[in-house]
Each structure stands twice: as C-alpha cells, then as structure tokens.
Amino acid sequence: MKQPAAPRWLYYRGTVQFLSTLFANSYFLQSLKGFCYPGLNCWACPVANFACPIGALQYSSIGLRGVLTSDKSLWAALPLYVLGTLIFFAALFGRMMCGWLCPFGWLQDLLAKIRRRKYKLPRWSCYIRYAVLVVGVFVISYYTGQPWFTKLCPQGALQGGIFQPLLHPELRAGIGTMWYTKQAILLATVVAMIFTLRPFCAIVCPLGAFFSLFNRISAWQITYDSQACTDCGWCIQHCPIDLDPRQQVNSAQCISCLECQKCPHGAIRSHPAWRPPQVACSADQLPTDPEGAS
Ligand code: SF4
Ligand code: SF4
Ligand code: SF4
C-alpha cells in the first residue's frame, strides 16, 4: 500500500513558533492582557499582549487564602476562567501548544540547534514538574502569599527582567539581589538548554505538566502503525526531545510537535480522535490466494 506523504503544514512549525511569539508580544494587542496565552509568555514584558496562566493561577491561590479566612464565597476565588481556558486548549490539542505555540519552547528548540553534546536527563526527573505545579504554583503561593514561581521564572527573567529595564531606564534603580538571582537562574537554564533537549519543559514547567495530563485523551491524537513501520529509526533521530515515537507518541513527555509524522513510510499520523487513519494491511490481513496454493 502506498503511504500518503506528510501534510505540508508540518514543515512550517518553525514559522508558526515565530509568528506565535510575535503575536504574543506584538505590543499592539495589549487590550487583550486580561486573556491567558496558552504558553509560557511573561505578561510583565513591556510588549506582551496576554496574561501568563501560571501567574494567574498563583494569584488565585493567594486570593483563595483570603477567601477561606473570611466569609466570602469560595466560587469567587476559584480560578475558573484560567483553568477553563487551559482545559479548553489541552482537551483539544494536548501538548501541541508546547510543540507549536509556546515562545519558551521555541527558544529551547533554537538553542538545541547549537552543536554540542546533548546529555540525557534521568527518567525520574520528568516527575519533578508535577511537584512544581502542585507545590510551586499552588501550595507555596497559598501559604506565603507570594507568587514565588513567577518571581524566579527564567521566562520572566528574560522578558520582564531584561526588557523592562531596557525600555524603562527609571526602573534600573530597583535592580537588586532578586533581579540578579533571577538572571542567574536564566543563565543556568540557557546553558542547560544548550547541553540538554528542552530541559525546562522536561523537568520544571508546570504549564507543560498540566497539558501533559490531557495528551492521551485530547481530541487531536497521534497514531503509530506498526504494520507500516520498517524500524528504520528515522523518527527517533528527528524527535526534538529524543523520544522513541514508536512507543512514546501521546505520552506525557511528547510535546506533540509532529516531527515524527514526517516518517518516510507514513507509519505515524495525527488526526481527530474520532477519525483514526486506516492502518496498512498486515500479512495476516492479506486476501487469501484464490487458487488455494499452499
Ligand atoms: S513545557 Fe515548555 S513548551 Fe510547554 S508550556 Fe512549558 S515552557 Fe512552554
Ligand atoms: S520513521 Fe517511520 S518507519 Fe522509521 S522507525 Fe519511525 S515509525 Fe517506523
Ligand atoms: S514523539 Fe513525535 S510528536 Fe512527540 S515529541 Fe517526538 S517527534 Fe514530536
């Protein structure tokens, strides 16, 4: 069976990442700053158009404490709008926002192009980001009354921490220990991005951890067809985060970039969950010899 060629739009991922970063930071849409962007993009950046969902979740957690210690309605403090937005995107696309839209994910893809030996992270490290989501985003904010993840986030250090004092000289007088701490974290993260594939996504990012929960049940799914696969290994060489797509498409680590869908044998395809692709004929599905030759 002749396999269909990969759709052309798969070859424009870099362009989509660039345009999405521009869209999120074009300055001219700042009236949208009340809306969350489905990617890690710091709202404190002077040109950012949208709110950061992680920042919004932390402030909700801080607000929740005030509500629980008063007689106000609990509903008012629940981050229903932010969670609703994130669940909407994740239920439709799983982690495709990580592979296609997130500005910080794109930065990691760009830095990964620097030719250096890439070190593998230990398997257990991928669970840390769930702890960051629960403890770093919700619990610590609730108990300290401070959005500590946002305060230390390297994306915030890059967008808010560098561009704000660059564009607003009057802010430079406020640079102190906290600013230097954030920049040190950013520097360490950038170095890690050169020597490891998407380390921030793999270990730290609470937004990616949230999207991961939906990767296997989202409306857009990736299917691997073992009958069409020739085990050539092309997909393993081209996965930007060093997964084995034959076993790990739709996994919690998979960023749904769809690079593996360019498989030269058409063995990996993405599709709406309700319309799975036809699988290739396996040997035991071939029509029997009409002449009954044995
Ligand atoms: S996991 Fe990576 S790509 Fe996904 S939201 Fe976080 S930083 Fe962005
Ligand atoms: S590139 Fe396609 S044919 Fe080759 S190993 Fe991967 S899935 Fe199989
Ligand atoms: S398994 Fe495929 S879709 Fe997932 S990250 Fe790797 S190349 Fe991208």
Q: pLDDT tens for residues 55-114?
A: 999 999 998 888 887 777 777 778 899 999 999 999 999 999 999 999 999 999 999 999
Which pLDDT score, from 0 to 100, does residue 294 have? 31
Q: How far is the CA of 243 from the centre of ligand 2 (A)?
A: 13
Q: Which residue has the higher pLDDT, 282 or 165?
A: 165
CA distance 140 to 47: 29
115-to-118, 121, 127, 289, 290 alpha-carbon distances in Å? 9, 18, 28, 54, 57
Global confidence as pTM: 0.91
Alpha-carbon distance of 257 to 263, in angstroms, equals 13
Tokens representing 285? 């599905």
Q: What is the mean pLDDT of residues 118-140?
A: 96
pLDDT at residue 121 greater than cutoff 90: yes
Q: Indicate whether residue 249 lines ligand 2 (CB < 6 A).
A: no
Residue among 224, 259, 262 to mutate when testing ligand 3 (max atoms within 8 A of CB) = 259
Q: Which ligand is nearest to the CA of 21?
A: 1
* Most ligand 2 atoms within 8 A of CB, residue of 237, 265, 279 to mutate: 265
According to the model, what pLDDT value does residue 288 have?
42
Check residues 287 and 210 and name the one with the higher pLDDT: 210
pLDDT higher than 70, residue 280: no
Q: Is the CB of 201 under 6 A from ligand 3?
A: no
Q: Which of 258, 268, 271 to mutate to test the pocket of ligand 3 (most atoms within 8 A of CB)?
A: 258
Q: Of all atoms in ligand 2, which is nearest to the CA of residue 268?
A: 7
- DSSP letter at 282 equals P
Q: What pLDDT is attached to residue 135? A: 97
Q: Measure the CA–CA gap between 211 and 91, rounded to whole angstroms.
A: 9
Q: Does residue 241's CB lie within 6 angstroms of at least one atom of ligand 3? A: yes
- Write down all domains in the chain, each with its CATH number in brackets: 8-212 (no CATH), 222-281 (3.30.70)
CA 203 to ligand 3 centroid distance, Å: 17
Cα of 30 vs centre of ligand 3, distance in Å, is 33
What's the pLDDT score for residue 285? 43
Return the pLDDT at 217.
96
Q: Where is 269: in which H helix or E strand?
A: strand 268-272
Please tell me if the CB atom of residue 7 comes closer than 6 angstroms to any atom of ligand 2: no
**Tokens matching residue 93:** 């696309």
Report the candidate in 159, 134, 136 with the shortest Cα–Cα distance to residue 147.
Answer: 136
| CA 268 / ligand 2 centre spacing (Å) | 7
